[in-house]
Amino acid sequence: MTRIIDGNEIADDIRADVKDSVETLTEEGVQPGLATVLMSEDGASETYVSMKQRACEELGIEGSHIEIDPEEPAETLYDRIDELNDDPSVHGILVQMPVPDHVDKRTVLERIAPEKDVDGFHPENVGRLVAGNARYKPCTPHGVQKILAAEGIETEGKDAVIVGRSDIVGKPMANLLIQKAPGGNATTTVCHSRTDDLAEKTRSADILVAAAGVPEMIDGDMIAEGATVIDVGVNRVDADTEKGYELVGDVDFESAKERASAITPVPGGVGPLTIAMLMYNTVEAASRQSGVPVEL
């Protein structure tokens, strides 16, 4: 029987632990704070930011939100980041991507104080992750690691194949899976759009992580019998629904579940973990900056 992994249930457990830690911090006079910054009128970005703010509210984290007109000069955004860096009530800063073309994305990532970079995208934090000394693990790959742990899926000695090499999912996922640490020790292959014979690579996976952003590109034929399939993809495709679209993953769920031993659905798989891990990182940030220890 194929196990359909319930990401909401795993995320709920993590959120409960985060909430306990928020209470511990609050009792010590530390109110964890997360600032989100949006410089876009993109509907999906607005939705992501409001989901993050709602999660803050539910867990007792002080959420603050800044919206900057996308027509404003880049300096406006850089100045706001500086202000947030200097604000002791803000422990975590998240600038929702994408930013407008006239804003330099690298400058944004480098401007956020590494201690407050709860996304884990500052080059210093990327370097620490690669060196096996992560300050904040990037939320989505960290969430995937939590799913594997919660489901008792061993990574050590396993062949892991990741489809996608982005800075936010594919590369940090690979870095976590190859670490000499629990949740790592996998033999890891990273595939991308120039990979020759992708199906041959994906079929070699004990653990397959799909993060390409291509709707249902991985079907059952590309999956080994008994593999664990983690579908990070979230793709809007036209559908006869009220909204006019539906969300599908990078994996063709129906054919994949005939082959996999365990699989995450879309929605309800990896997605809920990403926000839970952002809350987790925010609480870690508050704990580190205040010196009040928490158990996460």
Mark residues 79-98: x for contact with ligand NDP by CB under 6 A, - for none. --------------------
- Cα 83 to Cα 30: distance, rounded to the nearest angstrom: 20
CB of 160 to ligand NDP, least distance (A): 16
Among this protein's residues, is 221 annotated catalytic? no
10-171-106 Cα angle (round to 5): 110
Answer yes or no: is 164 a known binding residue.
yes
Question: Is 111 among the annotated ligand-binding positions?
Answer: no
Nearer residue to ligand NDP within complex by CB, 32 or 138: 138
Does the annotation mark 96 as catalytic?
yes
Query: 85 with 93: CB under 8 angstroms?
Result: yes
Q: Does 212 bind ligand NDP (CB under 6 A)?
A: yes
From the candidates 52, 116, 158, 201, give the one annotated as an active-site residue.
52
236 in contact with ligand NDP (CB under 6 A): no
Q: Name residue 246's beta-bridge partners.
A: 237
Is the link from the previous residue into 172 a cis peptide, with omega within 30 of 0? no
Q: Which of 96, 145, 179, 289 is catalytic?
A: 96
User: Which positions from 239 through 278 interact with ligand NDP, judged by CB under 6 A?
Assistant: 270-271, 274
Q: Determine if residue 165 is labeled as part of a ligand binding site.
A: yes
Contact 135, 164 (CB under 8 A): no
Binding ligand NDP (rule: CB under 6 A), the pick from 169, 176, 223, 256 is 169
Pick from 60, 70, 114, 213 the residue near ligand NDP by CB under 6 A: 213
User: How do strand 62-67 and strand 92-95 relate by DSSP bridges?
Assistant: unpaired
Say which amino acid occupies 169: V
Sole binder of ligand NDP in the list 2, 26, 189, 235 (CB under 6 A): 235
Q: Is 165 in the site for ligand NDP (CB under 6 A)?
A: yes
Can residue 163 be called a binding residue for ligand NDP (CB under 6 A)? yes
Of 31, 42, 104, 119, the active-site residue reads 119
Using the rule CB under 6 A, which residue among 69, 193, 258, 293 binds ligand NDP?
Answer: 193
Residue found by looking up tokens 């664990």 in the block = 228
Phi and psi, residue 36, nearest 5°: -105, 145
Residue 20 annotated to the active site: no
148 vs 294 by CB, closer to ligand NDP: 148
Any known ligand binding at 166? yes
Binding residues: 164-166, 234
The residues carrying an active-site annotation are 52, 96, 119
Contact residues for ligand NDP (CB under 6 A)?
140, 163-166, 168-170, 191-195, 198, 211-214, 217, 232-235, 270-271, 274
Residue list for the binding site for NADP(+): 164-166, 234
